């Protein structure tokens, strides 16, 4: 799918919670959650190492932990930028 750069509604604000949530939009598998301070995070729903679904993992210290090998840090939640997969934006 060829999407132009821009803002797209993926979930309503109330649907993004502190627990990882699996989302499929625009042909992409995504995972969304909210940090301790309420920032909404969305990124690809797969571990870069073994392609496990991150939505099956847990959130620790505002980072998602892979359910397969329990590593964390798949995202730097303090970085604020454009709403692209793997970046955060105000919720």
The full DSSP string for 60-74 is ETTEEEPTTT----S
Summarised one tens digit per residue, pLDDT across range 40-73 is 999 999 888 778 899 999 888 888 888 887 655 5
Q: What is the pTM of this model?
A: 0.72
Q: Give CA–CA dist 75/33, Å, rounded.
A: 12
According to DSSP, the β-strands at 63-65 and 28-34 are: unpaired
């Amino acid at each position: 799918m060829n999407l132009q750069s821009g803002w797209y509604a993926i979930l309503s604000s109330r649907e993004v919670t502190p627990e990882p949530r699996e989302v499929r939009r625009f042909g992409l598998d995504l995972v969304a959650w909210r940090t301790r301070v309420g920032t909404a995070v969305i990124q690809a729903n797969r571990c870069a190492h073994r392609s496990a679904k991150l939505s099956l993992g847990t959130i620790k210290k505002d980072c998602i932990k892979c359910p397969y090998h329990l590593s964390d840090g798949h995202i730097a939640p303090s970085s604020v930028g454009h709403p692209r997969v793997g970046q955060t934006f105000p919720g």
